[in-house]
Amino acid sequence: MPFPMIVIGAAVAVGAAGVGAGVKGAMDQSEANKTNERAQNIVDNATSRINRARKQTGHALEKLGETKIEILNHSIKDFIDTFSKLKNVEFEHSRGLNELGKLRLDKKSFEELREMQSMASSIAGGAVGGSVIGAATAFGAYGGAMMFGAASTGTAIASLSGAAATNATLAFFGGGSLAAGGLGVAGGTAVLGGIVAAPALAVLGVVMAAKGSANKDKAYSNLAQAKDFAAEMDVAATMCDGITKRARMFSSVLEKLDGLFTPMVNEMAATIKRKGDDFKYFYPAEKQNIAACCSMAQAIKAILDTPILDEDGKLTDRSARVIERAEQELKELSA
C-alpha cells in the first residue's frame, strides 16, 4: 500500500529542515572558527608587541645601569681618589670660582658618591656573585638615592638584589630571578604603571576552548576579549616605549658628561703631580679646572641619583626635569 502523500510530504519537509539546519550549523561553525582565528591573531599580535617593547625596555635599563657602573668605576673613582689628595680647597673666596662651583659638591655628596662607587666596584668585581641577578637593571631604573640611601654598602647590595628579584616591574622587563622562568605577558600577571596586564594565556585558553563549538556568540565574545586585551597591551607597550626612550636619554647624557669630565680629572691629577697637593698654591686656571671638575661630578651624581621609575613602575617627573637640565648644561658647555 503506497504511503499517503501527506506522510511523504511531511518526511520531505523534515528532511529539508534537517538539511537546512545542517547547512546553517556548518555556516555558524565556519563563522565561529573564523571569528576565533581573528581573536587569536589579535592576541598573538598584541603579545608580540608587548614582548618586544618590554625586552627593549629591559635592555635599555640594563644598558643604563651598566653605564652608571662603568662611570662610577672609572672617572668617578679617579676623581674621588685624586680630589681626596687635595688640602686647603677653597672655592667661595677664590675669584671666578664661586660662580663656577655653584653646583656644589659638598662633603655629604662626596661621601654618597664614594659609597655608590664602592657598591659599583663590588658588583663589577663579582663580589656578590649570582645574588644580584638583574642588578644593573635595578640600578638603571632606580638610581643611587632611591636604592641605597644612607645604607651601608652591604645593605645597599642586598636591597638592589631584592629589588631585582621581587619587583614586578623589573621582572616584567626581564631583570631578576622572577624573569628567569620566562615571566612575561604569557607567563603571569605583571604590573606596569598601575596597569594589570592579564596573562595572554588566559585569553588564549578561552579562544582555543571555543574552537570546537559552533557558538557564534561565544566566538564574538572571545573577539571582544581579545580586542580589550590588545588595547590594554597597547597602552602598556606605549609606556614601555616611554621608559626605553628616557633610559636611552640618560645613558646618552651620562656618556657625554663623562666625555667632558674625564679630561678634567686627568688635568687635576697632572696639576697635583706638578704642583703638590696644596690648592692655595695653584694658578687660577688650575683652580678653575678643579672647580669645574667638582661641578661636573655633582652634575653626574644628580643623574646617578635620579630614579627613572617610581615604585609603581611609572616614569618619574623628576627624571624628566633632571635630563632637561643636563642637556641644557651640555649645550652651554658646547657653545
**Which grid coordinates belong to 206?**
578561552
Q: Which of 144-158, 194-208, 254-268, 289-303 has the highest mean pLDDT?
A: 254-268
Residue 191: beta bridge partners? 196
Q: Read off the pLDDT of each residue in 44-68 and give the average, rounded to a whole number.
A: 89
DSSP 214-241: --HHHHHHHHHHHHHHHHHHHHHHHHHH
Q: Tens of pLDDT along 14-29?
A: 334 333 444 455 667 7
Q: Is the pLDDT at 94 greater than 60, yes or no?
A: no
Considering only residues 98 and 42, tell me which one the structure prediction assigns the higher pLDDT. 42
CA 249 to chain centre: 12
d(CA 247, CA 322): 12
pLDDT value of residue 256: 95
